[in-house]
Structure 1
Amino acid sequence: MAGDSPGPIERYLQILEIVAASTRGLTLTDISGLTGLPKATAHRLTRSLVEAGALATDDTWHKTFRVGDRMWRMLQLGANPAATAGFAQIILDELAERFHETCYVVRLGRDNVRSIARSAPDQGHRLHVLPGEVLPPHAAASAKAILAYQPDDVVDRFLKEPFEKMTSRTVTSPSEVRAELRKIREQGFAVCDREIDDNVMAYACPIHMKSAGVIYSLGLTGPCTRLRQHPQDMWIAALKDAADRLAHMFDTQSETVGTS
């Protein structure tokens, strides 16, 4: 009824909305005053939201609350990929011009990993990782570079058998795929060595966002004969540098949206 007090879910949402709308963060007194909730109730609700990662707070006496990492991640996962594709294209064009290989950025979705931007060289063999293309989670370097940083329940959702055997080198054992994901997390990059095409390799690095973790990765792909002309470390160093630049761009964009 119209005169009823808001239920618990509505009260949580009220707090999240006003904190997200604030450019400087809010104290408990601010939250209580803006929502009309008793201070004791606001304290209990904000504590639960902090424990869940939806809010974050500093360690001062008059604590200031802001949007937490988990909430930022949710917002990023629900955001329009076009919002980040422009930044991605800048970096991808630079990489493609430098190395004359196809470069691309992919993004984690609810049930797949898709390319959101690509840059192909003007000359030579082009490998088409088109925007919107779904990448096989058990084989594509870019998909593995993202899944390696996801919680177990997300990995379980993506790694559903049977895995397609695309070449003789495609790994189709769930335990082997999971072992590879652990290795990727340790070393910080992923490789697809002829697992999708008999003549094609790819390298990929995760894009570590401060607020949302890893939901994007940056990849480079080309014929084995060309990529093997240079040491693996050269490709990985270039990709990691570009991934760091993209992470900064994406984080800056998130901060701008959050304070606009």
Structure 2
Amino acid sequence: MATPESEAFVRTLARGLTVIEALGQAPGIHTLAELAVATKLPRTAVRRFLLTLIDLAIVRTDSKHYWLTPRVLRLSLSYLSTLPYWREAQVALEELSSISKQSCALSVLDGEDIVYLQRQHAKRILPVSPTLGSRLPAYAVSMGRVLLSGLPDDELDAFLRTVKMRRLTSVTITNAGELKAEILKVREQGYAWGEREFDDSICGLAVPVRDMSGAVIAAINVSLAAGEFTREMAVEQFLPKLWHTASRLRMSATLPQEIRRVRSSTQTDRP
């Protein structure tokens, strides 16, 4: 793997991607000075990247401000098109939301965060309502703990050593030992329940999506209004529906053999 210190690392490409990421931050329109601060790059370098991105029709400008064009979606859609289960997930989550009358979502793990790849809203929109591409801290949400439970032990320990946890609500777990115990419990029981740890108004029930080798490749959940459901009520009403949906996605998750990660220690008979 190339690192910033290795000869294989293309620093110019890395800096260009950093500029694109900065352009994607709110409010979505930025000055050169703002981008230089956000990227921690010299203004002259940022300007060269912007001029190149303008020539590629990825960025537009009014000579003072810069913003992304729809062409940048090619980058994200390229990733989504490599996921064999993504299109099936849209239909499956629509049906899950219709049956459960609750909002539901699919996400994957990216570093310390989960990233939403699908989201179906119930008629009643919850106070916290992520959309496609939204990121939430994995340690504090049910889908994050499901995804972390699928990591090999050494990767899970590395995550717990480096993750920066902060108290988001009065009940957020911020101790690495306590979090590991919760994740191991999720690994054993096959689902995660999160209540008020990310937001006082939200709780959620999540299960893993596995490929045919048994590796955890994604997570799906139902999001619930806190106070309306206990853990027991949620498990009884929604867990069978979640497992059914996960099984449906598993049948479409035929990843190429060379990118599968066989994690036999985490395989279970559950979907």
AA of the residue aligned to 2:248:
R
- 1:40 aligned residue: none
Tell me the TM-score normalised to structure 2 length. Answer: 0.59
CA contact (8 A) 1:149 1:185 kept: yes
- 2:155 aligned residue: 154
What SS class does the counterpart of residue 206 from structure 1 fall into?
strand
What SS class does the counterpart of residue 227 from structure 2 fall into?
helix
AA of the residue aligned to 2:125:
H
The CA deviation at 1:187 is 0.6
Alpha carbons of structure 1 residues 145 and 101: separation in structure 2 relative to 1, 3 Å: same
The CA deviation at 1:232 is 2.0
Matches within 5 A, 1:1-260: 80-82=79-81, 83=83, 84-110=85-111, 112-121=113-122, 123-126=123-126, 127-159=128-160, 160-211=162-213, 213-228=215-230, 230-251=233-254, 254=256
- Unpaired runs of 5+ residues, structure 2, are 1-77, 261-271
| 2-structure distance, mates of 1:254, 1:233 | 35
* Larger Rg computed on CA atoms: 1
Computed over aligned residues only, the root mean square deviation of the Cα atoms, in angstroms, reads 2.5
Deviations 1:39-85 (A, max 9, x none): xxxxxxxxxxxxxxxxxxxxxxxxxxxxxxxxxxxxxxxx8234332
| 2-structure distance, mates of 1:177, 1:231 | 21
The CA deviation at 1:212 is 6.3
The CA deviation at 1:231 is 4.6
Alpha carbons of structure 1 residues 97 and 189: separation in structure 2 relative to 1, 3 Å: same
CA contact (8 A) 2:205 2:223 kept: yes
AA of the residue aligned to 1:245:
R
Deviations 1:111-164 (A, max 9, x none): 53211111001x223341211112212111001001112113322343334312
The CA deviation at 1:105 is 0.4
| 1-structure distance, mates of 2:189, 2:249 | 19
| 2-structure distance, mates of 1:168, 1:177 | 15
Query: What is the count of residue pairs matched by the alignment?
Result: 177
Tell me the TM-score normalised to structure 1 length. Answer: 0.62
| 2-structure distance, mates of 1:231, 1:143 | 18
| 2-structure distance, mates of 1:147, 1:129 | 20
The CA deviation at 1:241 is 1.1
| 1-structure distance, mates of 2:193, 2:86 | 23
| 2-structure distance, mates of 1:161, 1:148 | 15
AA of the residue aligned to 1:93:
E
Percent identical among aligned pairs is 26
| 2-structure distance, mates of 1:158, 1:166 | 19
Deviations 1:95-119 (A, max 9, x none): 1111221100011235532111110
